[in-house]
Structure 1
Amino acid sequence: MTTARSQLISVEATPYYHCVSRCVRRSFLCGYDKLTQTSYEHRRGWVEKRLKRIATVFCVDVCAYAIMSNHYHVVLHINKDQAHRLSNHEVVERWLTLHRAPVLIQRFLKSESLSDAEQNACLTIIQTWRERLCSISWFMRLLNQYIASEANREDNCTGHFWEGRFKSQALLDEKALAAAMAYVDLNPIRAGIADTPETSNFTSVKARIKSLRKNQVTAPPLFPFADNPRNNMPERLPFHLADYLELVEWTGQQIRGDKPGHIQSTQLPILERLGIETDSWLNICTNIKKCTLVGSAAAIQTALPLFNRQRRTALQIP
């Protein structure tokens, strides 16, 4: 039975979510379809470009992403405070970069004389847009609609391109966030289509490494890492970029089982800092896709009421 989105996403519980959208057709989203001998590799660029554009408009930060042959992963951060800080004109400007303006809003922007009823209608519309700008559902909707339209046009067909709903997982603490990001960034390596993070095309980890090599602090518009994680810090990912890269490298080397790809091992200080045992960490990274809540036992117990849930269908991190 489908779970209501209100029971999957709660900003009060956590601003971080791992989302997955999967193609419903036999034909590929991206990559090469051996059956039809057709390459769809160029579509990876569509997804990455659209993802980055929406991220510059929305108050939803992209922490990690990986674009695969028939699905893609994103780890997103809801920045509700940023949405609330936007002026009414800033909200309108952002929303209209992706949509056409209603006549009433056009008049509002031109500072035309409006009646009280028209003013109130404008403010209602703007408030709706403000809420949508920090909505993961709207973020994914605008990403998927655009890609589906482009793919249908190229394939000269109509109908559904994506599964009816994207899947989402709430990441309740730093350990869950790190595990989900590493899982996403390692997708091409585990699938055997890349050997190292720096050669994993259309992933956030490659984008971050590319920027690092250019002596850039971060890879816009990706959510930046904290230079010095601490309490009361500005909104950033709560660990160092260097430690995260070591985490990805080490985890990618360790995971085996039914996944063909791996990379070389390195020591990983971040595991010790987060207090995670090696075996527990490998279990988390292997099974993270199997649930909707990820976090420590205490974090899960605290979050359940915020999602209006009682059952603990969650992946517990020691």
Structure 2
Amino acid sequence: MLAAMPLALPGALLPVAAFAQQGLVPSNSPRLGPSISGPTLPPALPSSEPDAQLTLTAILSGVGTPLQDGLVWRIFDDRGEGARPAIVGRSNEAEPHFTLPPGAYVATVTYGFASASKRIVLGGQAASDTLRVAAGALRLSGAVGDTKIPPDQVTFSVFVPVGTNSEGRLVRSEIHTGELLRLPEGTYHVVSTYGESNAIQRADLKVENGKVTEATLNHRAATVTLKLVAAPGSEAFAGTAFSVLTPGGDTIREAIGAFPQVTLAEGDYVLIARHDGQVYTHEFKVESGLDRDIEVLARTDAKTDAKTDTKPEATQGN
């Protein structure tokens, strides 16, 4: 017995799956959503243009002097506005060479705290370009009178003034004597610190394009050696705690030891020495350029309790 076969009536529509098996999709079939197993697009054809070499140089704008060291180069892929650029090349060479596929790039060069950038479009041929950097430099040192301050005893901080605030934005701190600080041209506020106390000098310096500004900040200060002694010129007591105060009572520096050294700005001070539960005070004066010992006498007949305000006799060493 033959099984009954369904008849395809004229004008009747086959199910969509039947067309799909034959690779056909009728124009009037309903959309059932994206097909996971549908045909994929062919891969993008590679560029017909080969990679090309890009050579870059940097010069100081205005004077045109080539920059030979201290450069940091970065090449970014230019993806248009709103897109995050990607670094595709780096170099610290004076004249770097980059091999890149055709396209648009942004080249940047940093020279200390100065920088420049330029958009470059590469085809399939070698290209070269020059970036102009508007920069100068600072070289700083310190002195007391005609005497240079040793490099390990003075440091500098450089600020960009903002409005009426001369120290509006810190460029860099802990700059040492003779160090070349590369900066964009402009006016900067420099703070020089001699020692670790209050010997501080300030100056406004102008950096000009293509030039090195060399400046010496002159301090009016001296270094004193603090001692608590039984008699003038005798051996200092070890383990003494010293405090240096302004006449108004503000603490400038504290130190512990037999003979600590303190660098102070020119002026009047009060020295407090504490040893074995006793306190001794002494007023002294700092004169610019005059380094000396400051001796406090710890006389047995003048010892006072640390809570008292008695000021025993003291002498100032030469």
User: Scaled by the length of structure 1, what TM-score is found?
Assistant: 0.20
Give the structure with the higher percent strand: 2
Structure with more contact order per residue of length (Cα contacts < 8 Å, sep ≥ 6): 1
Q: Which has the larger radius of gyration?
A: 2
TM-score by length of 2: 0.20
